[in-house]
A and B are shown apart, each in its own frame.
Chain A
Amino acid sequence: MNFDFSDEQKQLRDQTRRFLSETCTTKEVRAVLEGKHKFDRAVWKGLADLGLIGVAIPEEFGGAGAGRLELCIVAEELGRALAPVPYSSTVYLASELLMLAGSDAQKKAWLPRIASGDAIGALALVEGIGDPTPRSIKVSARDGKITGTKTLVPDGEIADFAIVVARGKAGDDERGVGLYIVDLKGAGVSAKAIETVDPTRNHAEMTFNAAAADPLGATGEGWATLTKVLDRAAVLVAFEQIGGADRALEMGRDYALDRMAFGRPIGSFQAIKHMLADMYVAATLARSNAYYGAWALSTDAGELAEAAANARVSATQAYQLCAKNNTQVHGGMGFTWEFDCHLHYRRSNLLALSLGSLTFWENRLIDEMRKRNAA
């Protein structure tokens, strides 16, 4: 059994961590938080130059042609560094949707530009409160034109193109749902910035008014394609979450060792030690579950849906626990703007909802467990 990353993959981790520790400190994260930029262009450019945006894109489309395990490595480091870049939208979602459902011409048009860092992609899915279902998709696609409003599009304001989930045929079930590529520089597209719990990541409300749309795969297959890509992306977001969880745990541990109260380091009090031990337990379980997700993702195993949901549930709980307890260990200082605790608190709460709520992934896990048991 070799349930671990290879030495080459671990080198990639070290390389990515080094790059981010030099270019993406919390100073850069705060510049986006405070509205100086919408995302960090230097980090984005650096990731492209290192070949990390197109790491899983085939060489013929300008990528590095590596596998999904390498993506997991990069995802963990981005989560750890709180990187304020549109990596998940562009790489886990847009790029994966193109690779899974795109025609050769569509791949040629977009993948090389993605890999070079020149095109940022987004997924336009959400149309209101609650986790999306086929029934919730009202934005319409008629005669090659998209019309309607997507209420929250991650990276919507900075993306060059979006993959829009829209209703191509009448009805309210998944048979009418299709995916459409929309060039956001074209006519009939407007984006309005939306401030979220974590302003280090861009979000927008997007309105399409007869915007030109290029169908990605057949209408009726859209929802199934989306579901598969959401499962894949869930594993990668779980890696971002375990990266963040580990960092929040380290911050809490370090502060507990340094901070003195009652004549002793606060880390010598069992109330603090046990809180940190619980964070370690949650982070360890989440890491092991994420590894299983990575295995399922990299082998496209039949277990992917269950493994992805399992990884997501575990990673969401671990990152939220680590981020909130890190803040608690820091006491009053944790509630200041100046200390970095709130950066993880914000990100952990944003990622907890990314690609669907905890409840959504819990339900998916139970459904998949039942299917496996019935088989």
Chain B
Amino acid sequence: MNFDDTPQEAEYRAHARKWVKDNAPDDLMQEFAAAEEIRDRDARTAQIVRVAKIWQKRKADGGWACLSWPREYGGRGATPIQRVIWDQEEGVYGALSGPFAIGQGMCGPTVMAYATEEQKRRYLPPLASGEEVWCQMFSEPAGGSDLAGLRTRAERDGDDWIINGQKIWTTGAHFCDYGILITRSDPNVAKHKGLTMFFLDMKSPGVEVRPIKQASGHSGFNEVYFTNVRIPDSQRLGKVNDGWNVSLTTLMNERFSIGARLATGVPEFFEFASQTKLADGSLAIDDKAVRSKLATWAARSNGLKYTAYRAISALSRGERPGPENSIGKLVAAPMTQDIAMYALDLQGQMGAISRDDATPAGKLYQTLFHAIGMRIAGGTDEVMRNIIAERVLGLPGDIRVDKDVPFNKIPTRGR
């Protein structure tokens, strides 16, 4: 039992570390941080995407973009453990590449699995280098956790498909060039059996992107409306009506991200409790109740870190990590919310004051809202528990009353 690299891993790490040191984007980090202060959404987005593209292109030129992808598609054919080592060495600079996370993490693997060779050579390298940005259009007002309940229609028209409908919670749609889109191609069959996946140019006529104002007042997501949008059949991913299986490729990649540092709120709370004085003048961290809660949270946060180490060890041995990685978001997301609320509570009535400064208290206040989204995005807490219960513990699937009902006969109103 040790935390040491193998000689090959150490060599790879040294190589990555040197490149990161020689190409450190500290100037870009400053611009990235400054962008957070820009109030206008379009101007803020433009600055974030601009610095992201500079860093991504630099990495691509150095051979460090999407490094686990094959060379012919813009990667370097790296092994999973090499990918982890790179992520560790890129460290905080990895945040710069945020705008590409969904495109490279989810759309890319889907395109790689289902597009033609010609399309892969056309679209994957610029996706890897950040020259083209992709988004993923799955969720709908009527289909979130129940994704297969989606209603956006795709109707065949000669060599094209005509798309009408609405997507929601689309991250980055307002700055993306392309997107993958799951649609209902046959409403007369059971819901999972009538779906088809496409990719499309986000500048196609009839595509309209509108920002969603979130509970926090910010706008990071969008609604995307489709009005008679034409997509050539050549941009279909997978077979007609086989979109559900295609979507599973995409979603598997969403939930499988090893060593990804999930925000837990623990370092911020530790700092907050170490600085904040309670009404009696004592430090919060000397208070019995605070210590007890912090210890529980710290142990859970540490548990996530060491669970990731176990997965990395499996990768290092050339094995597939076990299912224990499915717990990450389910542990981290609700915990950040609990921590944020407790930080408010410790300030008494003053905790109610809205703030978004860089102090620990300011960060924790922001977490209060961020946590709502974290508990839902990429699978709600409840969906994650179902996944663990069914796929890890082998418990039966939920009883699905709409399973064998044609989609257009499924009731749509609760009362």
Contact = CB atoms under 8 A, between A and B. Distances in A.
A1 B399 contact: no
Interface in A236-251: none
A1 B315 CA distance: 9
B306 A292 contact: yes
Contact of B390 (A273, A285, A313): A273
Contacts of A309: 295
A3 B398 contact: no
A285 B307 contact: yes
A3 B392 CA distance: 22
A268 B398 contact: yes
A289 B306 contact: yes
Given A1-B5, A4-B313, A369 B306 contact: no
A276 B382 CA distance: 12
Chain A interface residue number, banded: 35 or more
Interface residues of B, number: 50
B295 A1 contact: no
B385 A274 contact: yes
Interface string A1-21: 111111000000000000000
A373 B2 CA distance: 23
A187 B188 CA distance: 89
A284 B305 CA distance: 12
A50 interface: no
B291 A3 contact: no
A69 interface: yes
Contacts of A365: 295, 298-299
Contacts of B330: 277, 281
Nearest to B325: A284
B4 A362 contact: no
A202 to B, nearest CB: 30
B310 A4 contact: yes
A280 B385 CA distance: 10
A268 B300 CA distance: 28
Contacts, number: 157
A2 B313 CA distance: 5
B398 A270 contact: yes
Interface in B2-31: 2-5, 9
A5 B1 contact: yes
A294 B1 CA distance: 8
B295 A298 contact: no
Given A253-B395, A273-B390, A291-B306, A281 B331 contact: yes
Contact of A265 (B4, B310, B327, B396): B396
A363 interface: yes
Contacts of A36: none
Contacts of A6: 1
Given A1-B313, A4-B310, A276 B327 contact: no
Given A1-B316, A3-B312, A366-B285, A268 B307 contact: no
B331 A363 contact: no
A69 to B, nearest CB: 6
B379 to A, nearest CB: 12
A277 B389 contact: yes
A36 to B, nearest CB: 36
B298 A284 contact: no
Given A270-B398, A284-B303, A285-B300, A2 B291 contact: no
A295 B302 CA distance: 14
Residue with the highest number of chain B CB atoms closer than 10 Å, among A69, A265, A267: A267
A236 B4 CA distance: 23
Contacts of A268: 395-399
Interface string A189-229: 00000000000000000000000000000000000000000
A160 interface: no
A277 B383 CA distance: 11
B294 interface: yes
Contacts of A264: 396, 399
B292 A359 contact: yes
B157 interface: no
A366 B274 CA distance: 11
Contacts of B274: 370, 373
Contacts of B296: 313, 317, 362
A363 B296 CA distance: 11
B320 to A, nearest CB: 14
Contact of B389 (A276, A291, A317, A359): A276
A98 interface: no
- Which 3 A-B pairs give the minimum distances between C-beta atoms? A285-B303, A362-B295, A273-B389
26 contacts: A1-B309, A1-B312, A4-B1, A4-B310, A4-B313, A6-B1, A253-B393, A253-B394, A257-B394, A273-B389, A277-B385, A280-B393, A284-B327, A285-B303, A288-B302, A288-B307, A289-B302, A291-B1, A292-B302, A294-B1, A313-B296, A362-B292, A363-B291, A365-B298, A370-B274, A373-B270
Given A273-B386, A285-B299, A285-B303, 18 more contacts: A1-B9, A3-B1, A268-B399, A273-B385, A274-B385, A276-B393, A277-B330, A277-B384, A278-B385, A285-B300, A288-B304, A292-B306, A295-B2, A310-B302, A361-B295, A362-B291, A362-B295, A363-B291
